[in-house]
Amino acid sequence: MNRGPLIFLGVFVAMAFSWYGMIVSPQRQIGGQQQATVEPAGIRYPVPRPGLAQRGAEVYRANGCGYCHTQQVRPRGYGSDFERGWGLRMSVAQDFLFEQPAMLGQLRIGPDLANVGMRWNDPQWHYRHLYNPKSTVEKSTMPQFPFLFEMRVIQGDRSPEALDLTGELAPPKGYEVIPKQEARALAAYLISLQSPLSLFEAPIPAEPKKDAEPSTNTVAVSSRNSQMLGLGESLTQ
Ligand code: HEC
């Protein structure tokens, strides 16, 4: 008996279902993502990174930071991301709209970096940490990246960017350690990693208020955003 057509039909249906499930439906769900307008100030989120930070993303990729660090805060209940203070809300596809490619990562030898710019926003801290992680975090097991810096003779005044290194790490007298362009870009990138705004699909839980709780999600989102943007409550009422 010739079962060819039946087998063909079976394979065809299986392929068609997988194509729909794995290509068409994700494309329909997230393919058309757009910038959101975040209330109450009407600012657009996310925005493309400024040039230096964008170059820093390349340095991040080139140095394999993504092997040890993720950039995604998991939803509440899927781990202890919130308890560890890695973000105010979970990450959603919209956060990665301008990432090419998105450095989601899959292994967490170090902390999640999705919001590292909210924890450490001083380039000097990042310089010292990258130059030698033990200079800022005593028991750090993160590798050093001294090749992103250069040691040079101090000419005239000490550079304002020179690293403030003490003890064994201090350069010889008359020398200073300054960040190369890669380190500057990388620090700008790390500081740009922040997602402090409440989105409709991933609201930041509003802090309990003395008076009545906001009755809808949208109001909660905008009142949280006005707090983050430093706007008075007046705007949301
Ligand atoms: C072998 C794994 C490993 C690699 C590769 C690595 N890190 Fe880390 N990183 C760690 C560990 C472990 C920590 C936690 C200890 C510390 O803070 O130094 C950490 C901490 C950090 C922190 C501080 C995070 C916080 O919340 O305090 C930053 C920022 C960071 N790493 C950036 C980088 C960058 C940028 C690169 C690439 C140039 C990189 N890391 C490469 C393991 C790694």
Give the tokens for residue 119. 């924890």
Give the atom of ligand 1 at the shortest distance from the alpha carbon of 126: 29
Per the listing, tokens 């993160």 go with: 142
Task: Give the model's pLDDT for residue 220.
Answer: 55
Task: Give the model's pLDDT for residue 142.
Answer: 97
Q: Is the CB of 58 under 6 A from ligand 1?
A: no
Task: Give the model's pLDDT for residue 211.
Answer: 56
Q: Is the CB of 124 under 6 A from ligand 1?
A: no
Task: Give the model's pLDDT for residue 233.
Answer: 44
Task: Give the model's pLDDT for residue 228.
Answer: 62
Task: Give the model's pLDDT for residue 116.
Answer: 96
Largest separation between any pair of C-alpha atoms in the chain: 93
Per-residue pLDDT of the chain (237 residues; tens, 9 = 90+): 789 999 999 999 999 999 999 999 999 888 888 888 887 778 888 999 989 999 999 999 999 999 999 999 999 888 899 999 999 999 999 999 999 899 999 999 999 999 999 999 999 999 999 999 999 999 999 999 999 999 999 999 999 999 999 899 999 999 999 999 999 999 999 999 998 888 888 888 777 655 555 545 555 555 666 666 655 444 333
Long-range contacts of the stretch 78-83 (C-beta < 8 A, 24+): 81/112
Q: Is the CB of 65 under 6 A from ligand 1?
A: yes
Q: Are 40 and 236 in contact (CB under 8 A)?
A: yes
Per the listing, tokens 């769900």 go with: 29
Q: Tell whether omega for the bond before 46 is within 30 degrees of 0, i.e. cis.
A: yes
Task: Give the model's pLDDT for residue 218.
Answer: 52
Question: Closest Cα to residue 86, out of 110, 102, 106?
Answer: 110
Q: Are 179 and 149 in contact (CB under 8 A)?
A: yes
CA dihedral 142, 147, 148, 150 (to 10 degrees): 130
Counting ligand 1 atoms within 8 A of each CB, the residue from 55, 58, 59, 68 with the most, and so the one to mutate, is 68
Q: Is the CB of 73 under 6 A from ligand 1?
A: no
Cβ–Cβ contacts within 10 Å for residue 206, how many? Answer: 17
Residue nearest to atom 18 of ligand 1 (CA): 140
Question: Closest Cα to residue 95, out of 52, 49, 40?
Answer: 49
Task: Give the model's pLDDT for residue 234.
Answer: 42
Task: Give the model's pLDDT for residue 2.
Answer: 87
Give the tokens for residue 88. 């105010």
> Identity (one letter) of the amino acid at 137?
V
Task: Give the model's pLDDT for residue 1.
Answer: 72
Q: Is the CB of 127 under 6 A from ligand 1?
A: no
Task: Give the model's pLDDT for residue 33.
Answer: 86
Counting ligand 1 atoms within 8 A of each CB, the residue from 61, 69, 119, 193 with the most, and so the one to mutate, is 69
